[in-house]
Amino acid sequence: MNIRGMIRFSMVDFPGKIACVVFCARCNFRCPFCHNPHLVLDPDSQPRVRMPQILHFMQSRVGKLEGIVISGGEPTLDPELPGFAKQMTDMGFAVKLDTNGSHPEILKSLYEAGCLHALGIDYKAPSGKYNEIANSGISDIADRVKRSLAFALENHIRLDVRTTVHKNLLSFEDLQTMRSELNSIGVKDWNLQQFNPVDTLDEAISKTPTYSELELISFARKLSSTKVRGLTGIYLE
């Protein structure tokens, strides 16, 4: 695995579990609000965390940590993901994947191999403007993300669906459209995330005003089963 960062202990990244988080290099999206631009645009600028080091660390945490979050970047781009997820599962850790949802077939094969226990999937925009925000160049990207969500629901995989909201990118009407698209897939719980104006892929967006937390909370109250997560990962009410 091409790992370029690691958090050894987290209580917020894997709901209900104490976990380690690793960050994979590269991504097939170019979201303007991305706060890991170095991982996306220039992963070689970040020191590589070598696999023996990760395996040694995880071995030393058997019985102490409960899970591992494989995040990014986009982890499904790494051809070594299935082998790594299997190693973690065999060591007794639950595996959560944070993904942009662009590879539903990889989620399926991980799940069928017994190596996928939870998913965090970004739902970035209404279908009609998905690539306006994700900049993936993948023509059927909205359909792929919907298939990833549907797969998680069909197989009762623990699922965190989240959307980073910036005023320049998503209006309240967009959020209403997304809410009804999620409803039609069967997704109930949805989290709106406050934009983090630190070190973004598009530098201009971090200088542009966005919604306040109060505005986001007021949006969420008008949408069903929708909550707001602040910058610390804590829910705001």
Stretch that binds ligand SF4, among 23-31, 106-114, 177-185, 209-217 (CB under 6 A): 23-31
Count of residues binding ligand SF4 (CB under 6 A)?
11
What is the CA 79 to chain-centroid distance, rounded?
Answer: 18
Is cis: bond before 230, omega within 30 of 0? no
Residue 34 interacts with ligand SF4 (CB under 6 A): yes or no: yes
- Residues 79-118, interacting with ligand SF4 (CB under 6 A): 100
Q: Provide, rounded to whole angstroms, the least separation between the CB of residue 135 and ligand SF4.
A: 8
Can you read off the two tokens belonging to residue 94?
């639950």
Residue 36 interacts with ligand SF4 (CB under 6 A): yes or no: yes
Residues 5, 73, 75, 126: which binds ligand SF4 (CB under 6 A)? 73
How far is Cα 27 from Cα 110, in angstroms, rounded to an integer?
Answer: 19
For ligand SF4, the closer of residues 1 and 31 by Cβ is 31
Q: Give one DSSP letter per residue of 144-161, joined into a string.
A: HHHHHHHHHHHTT-EEEE
For ligand SF4, the closer of residues 27 and 178 by Cβ is 27
Residue 180: C-alpha distances to residues 121, 176, 214 (Å): 17, 6, 22
Q: Which of 126, 108, 113 is nearest to 84 (CA)?
A: 113
Residue 29 interacts with ligand SF4 (CB under 6 A): yes or no: yes
Residue 30 interacts with ligand SF4 (CB under 6 A): yes or no: yes
Query: Other C-beta atoms within 10 Å of 166: how many?
Result: 22
Q: Provide, rounded to whole angstroms, the least separation between the CB of residue 140 and ligand SF4.
A: 16
Residues that bind ligand SF4 (CB under 6 A): 27, 29-31, 34, 36, 40, 72-74, 100
